[in-house]
Amino acid sequence: MSVDDTLNTYSAVGGIQHEEPLLFEHAHESAEAISLPGVQGDISDELKAFARKKPANIPGLSEPETVRHFVRMSQWNHSIETGFYPLGSCTMKYNPRVNEQVVRLSGLANIHPDQPVDSVQGVLALLHELQTWLCEIAGFSDVTLQPAAGAHGELVGLMMIRSCLDARGQQHRKKVLVPDSAHGTNPASAALCGMHCVELKSGADGRIDLEELKKHLDGDVAALMMTNPNTAGAFESDIKEICQLVHDAGGLVYGDGANLNALVGVARPGDMGIDCLHINVHKTFSTPHGGGGPGAGPVVVNDTLAPYLPVPRIVKEGDDYRIETQDEQSCGTILGSIGQVGVLLRAHAYIAAFGANHLHKISQDAVLNANYVLHRLKDAYHVPFEGLCKHECLLTDEYQNKHGVKTLDIAKQLIDLGFHPMTVYFPLIVHGAMLIEPTETESKATLDSFCDAMLEIAAQCKAGDTQVLHDAPIKPIRRRLDETQAARKPVLVWSD
Amino acid sequence: MRFLPHTDTDRNAMLESMGMNTMSDLFADIPKEFHLEQDSLHLPDALSEAAIVRKFTQASEQNRHAGNTRCFLGGGTYHHFVPAVVDYVISRGEFLTAYTPYQPEIAQGTLQTLFEFQTMVARLTGMDVSNASMYEAATATAEAALMARRVTRKSRIVMAGSVNPRYRSVTQNYLSRLEGEYVEVAMDGEGFGTDINNIIAAIDEKTACVIVQYPDFYGSVYDLAPLRAACDAAKCLMVVAFSDATAFALIESPGDMGADIAVGSGQSLGIPMGFGGPHLGLFTCKQKYVRQMPGRVCGMTFDADGKRGFVLTLSTREQHIRREKATSNICSNQGLMCTAAATYMTLMGDEGLKAVAQRSAAALHKLISSLPASVSAAQGAHFHETVLSFSSQAIRDLFLQEARKRDIFAGIPLEQLDDAVEHKHLLVTTTEMIEAADIQDYIAALEVAV
């Protein structure tokens, strides 16, 4: 079947797409788009001495031109609002519009962070309530909302672990164990915290191998960083024993919460022995990804690590909220503000919409959908690790390799069929990984049409009808882009 | 539940197709002892959409904000005008709900926008290249220090005491677990400016970089040429931090001043104050250092048909490839805020940006010119903020009360950010959102208090 024949079946990119030049190629002088308020007086003579001599050369378009410029470009993007986005370990779920509405209320959007505390009690109350909810959902005793993203949360978690070990007089513990299936941010965060990583080789089932773990548990171990469920989509069923082993060896267990969407309302990492966990609210609690961010990575901690939380902290005293900025034991200041407040407020609204009575349905449906996709694709694609998956499932291109087709080709063909590809070539523990995370906000009809597309691609491979796969994608505004050239002679800014 | 498409019929059909009976079968791999009882979480029950709007509206109405006050607060976060088009563009689902552009063929919207953003940021700061954002200014400053260590293979960091205390404390904290020396150069007396000679005296041959803020935390604008010369002599980098990027439409940019790395806040470029975030960290440097830069960066290339397009590039610096040898651990950044800033700068152009900066500075000049004799402002060139000094804390605090009566947030008591100073100073800031009448009311409150 050719791509054109599939147009009625799949939601492929189609219709009008406009070319749009760069802003700098719009051919007229700066237009006036803005009428500004303010004082139109003179500036001081002292300041005049520092006047910029050469203009910045930022072109400026009129308001209608600006709108069309950006709206046209927006139409070149795939997004969760336009289609299925099954990126593994990314949790691309629907982002409720009401959350966008409420965070734009002037009393939330237009507050200065250094206003007197009596003038910001409303926002502090919302943030404080979110703190208690995150602790309750994940099973921990305290939290910092401050980290700006998941990787930032990792760094902060490790800083707290460092402070805790230092307080125990164990400055020498600098070894961080990281499974080879871990996100790349884990080892990078450890390095930034002055620790070094030792990679744990995953067992044959894609999980942490207890014997391998024991081999590395010596007096130098500071922490184990683990993701559960892991990036192969498997729950680490030995979690209790793993945490016990690490604790017995004098180390602490850091939980990477990127995959928390499998556990919400179902089980709590804090109950399993993990000492701290960052929560990617832009994944689990549905704050929009925005083309790369902003996210937020609150870190929940147990009693062992609570004394070392960063400052500032939001504290409730009686009916009042205040911001605590000093604490001797704290691991320090990690951001110039109290956090990515607008992102955190969206997470608050999301949790409020589910409440105690519905939260578990998030993970139930997420796990149902991933297992359903796995079930439908397991004969056509190689499944490296048997058994249940959690909120994402892992396949490889092993069967398709025999026909000269690689994961990348499958991904690009999915684009022509109207789907965003899954996460490709991650985790690194299998060759040609395809990690599929459907999330709970997709209908059975969408899952079926995605599975049909995947099965069709597998059938094309079997039939030797593979040229179309190597040529894909042909439908978007651009075809495969030359990334090698981009890196060899980087052009990062436009020159007129 | 309104965000979940499945009906129970769907769920049962799906379970049945897999040979399962109940949802709990899906969680058989989680040890029984960890399974939560249904409804056992201590959380409120679900709210309707209308109830959520009501709750947030009530919380919002408890706060005072720039919409119902006059905001003279700055110190790194500024109340500038945000045109409606900016919020419209970043509300488009195609920008708002897209992931990081790892599949460039279907992310050209985000990518071309990033390329335009990088170009405009580089031009505004006068630097060669910009990355595709950091979280915010304080962590960007810390990343600049780390980058200078990589570039120079030296580890001593010299930090001016006139840099925003928040940028300083985050940078110090980031560096504290690594080998190497961190030195803060105290500023002489309470002049509230930057003493270049003191900083130069702190440089030695082990120094990787000197970090200054320009305009500094107190709003002071000063000449960096002597520092540039000293950095050249010691073979260290000059890192310039800034808190309001609109300044460089009016005054000489960090690039004009010879910065090797310039980092700071882009919050003023179309992003609301939002009680501290999400804001936008800007990171720029000279072309020759680009391979040591942290964070994502977008580059130009061509597709299989020879058409121009854009991709994320130089990713061998990044954590997903280099893991513990990466230039930074950053992954999620402030992508949508780049789109906001790109839209804002497109609407403004050179002229609009300059007008924003000009009016911000003009308002401060007008305010300072109207001060009563018993209140003094810091000397020298200032952009749009300065330090007002009172004869005592009591008088300052009385003024703050008088100002509140007039719905004015009159400034930040300096000791809240920098506990080393006497409790009688106020960091005051003006933007184009301050009208002449607001300044009159400000002065009227002052005259009551002093």
> A-contacting residues of B 337-396, CB under 8 Å?
337-339, 342-343, 345-353, 355-356, 358-363, 365-366, 368, 380-383
Q: Cβ of B166 and A333 within 8 Å?
A: yes
How does pLDDT run across B282-303, given as a tens digit for each residue? 999 999 999 999 999 999 999 9
Quickly state the pLDDT bin for A326 (edges 50, 70, 90).
Answer: confident
Residue among A11, A35, A52 with most chain B CBs within 10 A, to mutate? A52
Show Cβ contacts of residue B261 under 8 Å, excluding neighbours closer than 6 positions. Answer: B144, B147, B148, B209, B237, B238, B239, B240, B283, B284, B285, B286, B289
Instruction: Tell me what pLDDT residue A17 has.
Output: 81
Whether the CB of A338 is below 8 Å from some CB of chain B: the reply is: yes
Query: Which member of A111, A288, A355 has the closest CB to residue B45?
Result: A355
Residue A14 has a pLDDT of: 64
Chain B contact present for A425, CB below 8 A: no
Tell me if B158 is assigned to some domain: yes
A434 at interface of B, judged by CB pairs closer than 8 A: no
The count of other CB atoms within 10 Å of the CB of residue A437 is 29
Shared-domain flag, residues B333 and B355: no
Task: Over range A207-233, report the average pLDDT.
Answer: 96
Question: Is residue B286 one of the residues assigned to a domain?
Answer: yes
Residue A4 pLDDT more than 50?
no
Determine what percent of chain B is predicted with pLDDT higher than 70.
100
Q: Within the 449-488 window of chain A, which residues sit less than 8 Å (CB to CB) from chain B?
A: 473, 476-483, 485-487
B146-164: average pLDDT: 97
Whether A113 has its CB under 8 Å from any CB of chain B: the answer is yes
Of B132, B77, B144, the C-alpha closest to B341 is B132
Q: From chain A, pick out residues whose CB is under 8 angstroms from the CB of B355.
A: 34, 36
Contacts of B178 in chain A (CB under 8 A): 192, 194
Distance from CA of A321 to the nearest CA of B (A): 12
Residues in Cβ contact with B172 at an 8 Å cutoff, skipping those fewer than 6 apart = A332, B159, B182, B184
Tokens linked to A257: 């919460």
**In this complex, do B124 and A100 lie within 8 Å of one another by their Cβ atoms?**
no
Least confident of A396-405, B326-335, B362-371, B430-439: B326-335
Q: Is residue B338 situated within a structural domain?
A: yes
Contact: B275, A415; criterion CB under 8 Å: no
Residue B50, in any domain of the structure: no
As for the ipTM of the complex, it is 0.97
Structure confidence at residue A259 (pLDDT):
96
Among B345, B370, B394, residue at a domain's last position:
B345
Q: Does A356 touch chain B (CB under 8 A)?
A: yes
Task: State pTM to two decimals.
Answer: 0.97
Which residues in chain B touch residue A184, judged by CB atoms under 8 angstroms apart? 318-323, 326, 331
pLDDT band at A1 (very low <50, low <70, confident <90, very high): very low
Cβ separation B343–A194 shorter than 8 A: no
Nearest to A101 by CA among B196, B122, B49: B49
Sequence-distant (6+) residues with CB within 8 A of A463 are: none
SS3 content of chain B, % helix, strand, coil (to 5): 45, 15, 40
Question: Do B97 and A288 lie within an 8 Å CB cutoff?
Answer: yes
Q: Are residues B409 and B321 in the same domain?
A: no
Residue B31 falls within a domain, yes or no? no
Please state, in angstroms and rounded to a whole number, the distance separating the CA atoms of residues A39 and B363. 6
pLDDT in tens, B45-99: 999 999 999 999 999 999 999 999 999 999 999 999 999 999 999 999 999 999 9
- The separation between the first and the last C-alpha atoms of chain A, rounded to the nearest angstrom, is 45
Same domain membership, residue B358 and residue B245:
no
B335 and A267: CB-CB below 8 Å? Answer: no
Look up residue A44 and give its DSSP letter. Answer: P
pLDDT the model gives residue B323: 82
Would an 8 Å CB–CB cutoff place A190 in contact with chain B?
yes
The per-residue pLDDT for A480 is 96
pLDDT-based confidence at B173, cuts 50/70/90? very high
pLDDT in tens, A52-88: 999 999 999 999 999 999 999 999 999 999 999 999 9
In angstroms, how far is CA B305 from the centroid of its own chain?
A: 39
Cα B311 to Cα B93, B106, B116, B211: the distances in Å are 21, 11, 13, 32
Name every chain A residue with its beta carbon within 8 A of the beta carbon of B428: none
Q: Under DSSP, is residue A154 helix (H, G, I), strand (E, B) or coil? A: helix
Residue numbers of the domain that contains B356: 70-80+349-449
Query: Is A35 an interface residue toward B (CB < 8 Å)?
Result: no
Burial B73-83 (b: 16+ CB within 10 A, else e): bbbbbbbbbbb
**Do the chains contact at A102 and B57, CB–CB below 8 Å?**
yes
A122 contacts in B (CB within 8 Å)?
58-63
Question: Measured between CB atoms, does A171 come within 8 Å of chain B?
Answer: no
Residue A201 has pLDDT above 60, yes or no: yes
Q: Which of B97, B275, B353 shows the shortest C-beta gap to A79?
A: B97
Tell whether B153 lies on the interface with A, counting CB pairs under 8 A.
no
Are A291 and B58 a contacting pair at CB < 8 A? no
Q: Pinpoint the alpha helices (H) of A18-62.
A: 45-48
pLDDT at residue A268 is higher than 80: yes
| Chain B CB contacts of A196 below 8 Å | 324
Helix/strand/coil for A94: coil
Q: What is the CATH number of the domain that holds B432?
A: 3.90.1150.10
A57 touches chain B (CB under 8 A): yes
B105, B128, B179 ranked by CB distance to A481: nearest: B105
Sheet harboring A433-436: ordered strands across?
Answer: A393-396, A433-436, A423-424
Same domain, B96 and B243: yes
Q: Is A341 on the interface with B (CB under 8 A)?
A: yes
Task: Quote the tokens at residue A163.
Answer: 């402070």
Query: Over 50: is that where the pLDDT of A6 sits?
Result: no
A409 close to B (CB below 8 A) = no
State which of B345, B380, B414 marks the end of a domain: B345
In this structure, are B322 and B392 located in the same domain?
A: no
Does residue A3 have a pLDDT over 50? no
A454-469 pLDDT, tens digit per residue, is 999 999 999 999 999 9
Instruction: Considering only the beta carbons, identify the residue of B97, B120, B433 that sits closest to A289.
Output: B97
- Select from B31, B98, B301 the Cβ nearest to the Cβ of A78: B98
Q: Is residue A16 pLDDT above 90, yes or no?
A: no
Residues B214 and B187 in one domain: yes
Same domain, B94 and B176: yes
Could you tell me if A159 and A352 are in contact, meaning their C-beta atoms sit under 8 angstroms apart?
no
Residue B419 makes CB contacts below 8 A (sequence gap 6+) with none
**Contact A276/A304 with Cβ under 8 angstroms?**
no
Provide the CATH topology of domain A100-353: Aspartate Aminotransferase; domain 2 (3.40.640)
Q: What percent of chain B has pLDDT over 90?
A: 94
Residue B33 is assigned to a structural domain of this protein:
no
Number of domains in chain B: 2
Query: Are B350 and A334 an interchain contact pair (Cβ–Cβ within 8 Å)?
Result: no
Do the chains contact at B319 and A187, CB–CB below 8 Å? yes
Same domain, B244 and B330: yes
Per-residue b/e over B12-33, b at no fewer than 16 CB within 10 Å?
eebbeeeebeebeebbeebbee
Asked if residue A190 lies in contact with residue A222, where contact means CB atoms within 8 angstroms, the answer is: no
CB B264 within 8 A of CB B150: no
**Is A168 or A2 the better-scoring residue by pLDDT?**
A168
pLDDT given for residue B144 in this prediction: 98
Q: How confident is the model at residue B326 (pLDDT cuts 50, 70, 90)?
A: confident
For chain A, the helix, strand and coil percentages under 3-state DSSP, each to the nearest 5: 40, 10, 50
Token pair of A255, please?
């939980």
Domain boundaries, chain A: 100-353
Does A490 contact chain B (CB < 8 Å)?
A: yes
Q: Any CB–CB contact under 8 A between B426 and chain A?
A: no
CB contacts < 8 A, A to B, total 712
d(CA B51, CA B48): 5
Q: Confirm if B299 and B104 have CB atoms less than 8 A apart.
A: no
Residue A339 to residue A348: CA distance in whole angstroms: 14
- Cβ neighbours of B347 in A, within 8 Å: 33-34, 60-61, 63, 66
List b or e across A377-401, with b for residues whose CB sees 16 or more CB atoms inside 10 angstroms.
Answer: beebbbbbbeebbbbbbbbbbebbe
Which residues contact residue A127 at a Cβ distance below 8 angstroms, ignoring those fewer than 6 apart?
A145, A314, A338, A339, A341, A344, A345, A348
CA distance A411 to A420: 8
Is B209 inside a domain boundary?
Answer: yes
pLDDT for B190 equals 65
Closest CA to B330 of A387, A147, A77, A233: A147
The whole-number pLDDT of residue B324 equals 84
Chain B contact present for A15, CB below 8 A: no
How many whole angstroms separate alpha carbon A121 and alpha carbon B61? 10
For residue B41, name the pLDDT band (cuts at 50, 70, 90): very high
Element (DSSP H or E) covering residue B364: helix B335-369
User: For residues A28 and B287, what is the distance between their CA atoms, to the nearest angstrom?
Assistant: 29
Q: How far apart are CA A93 and CA B368, in angstroms?
A: 52
Neighbours of A48 (CB within 10 A): 13
B225 touches chain A (CB under 8 A): no
Closest Cβ opposite residue A481 in set B303, B359, B434: B303
pLDDT at B440 over 80: yes
Is the pLDDT at A368 greater than 90? The verdict is: yes
Work out the mean pLDDT of chain B and round it to a whole number.
96
Last residue of a domain, which of B318, B345, B372? B345
pLDDT, tens only, B109-120:
999 999 999 999
Residue A203: both structure tokens together: 């067992």
CATH number at residue B114: 3.40.640.10
Query: How many angstroms away from the CA of B13 is the closest CA of chain A?
Result: 10
* pLDDT recorded at residue A12: 53
Q: Which of the residues A48, A69, A114 would you substitute to probe the B interface, choosing the one with the greatest number of B C-beta atoms within 10 Å?
A: A114
Task: Name the helix (H) or strand (E) containing B302.
Answer: strand B298-302
Sequence-ordered list of residues with C-beta below 8 angstroms from that of A446, at least 6 positions apart, any chain: A84
Using alpha carbons, select from A255, A313, A273, A286 the residue that is nearest to residue A99: A286
Query: How many C-beta atoms lie closer than 10 Å to residue A45's C-beta?
Result: 9
Please report whether residue B19 resides in a domain.
no
B330 reaches A (C-beta below 8 A): yes
